[in-house]
A = this chain, B = another copy of it.
């Protein structure tokens, strides 16, 4: 059965299976059996590749964060540097196709909840929060005075997370995501427009 050089493939398959299991069953009911079954492997392989269940959970969150980061870089590269466009980019990458899938959203919310009581996850979570905030603040600060930029960035960050949360909990996440993205942009544009007036 074994082929050499399967390490990266297997790790990715297990991470995918982890997110599927969390999205379907919730973190509460996700076990190493529910994960390994979905990946078509045995339960022991998880400890072999990730040192244990906890290691796999953290690797899965790291994967989500990486994907979000890469998404943002890609979109940023395609625009000129105007604050308006950069802010749109940030919003879009947070609501992008990848995020839009109910699978990722549910997984993310499960991580959020557990992050409150598990330092490893909490650290990753805080890094992500800080990155979103500082990206927003940087662009606002090119148009608004310092303290107003701070407030606008906080509001926008909360708006994004809030729409996300409500979408993940709603019966029809994708519809909610679309409305959320639109209304986040609306807020940003009106905030900028008011500054110019």
Contacts and interface: CB of A to CB of B under 8 A. Distances in A.
A51 interface: no
Given A155-B187, A158-B183, A179-B154, A112 B26 contact: no
29 contacts: A25-B117, A26-B113, A26-B116, A26-B117, A26-B118, A27-B28, A28-B114, A28-B117, A109-B112, A112-B113, A112-B169, A115-B169, A116-B169, A122-B169, A125-B169, A126-B169, A129-B166, A154-B183, A155-B183, A155-B186, A155-B187, A158-B162, A158-B165, A159-B159, A160-B162, A161-B165, A161-B166, A162-B165, A190-B194
Given A158-B163, A158-B165, 15 more contacts: A25-B117, A26-B113, A26-B118, A27-B113, A28-B114, A29-B117, A109-B112, A122-B169, A154-B179, A155-B186, A158-B166, A161-B165, A162-B162, A162-B164, A165-B165
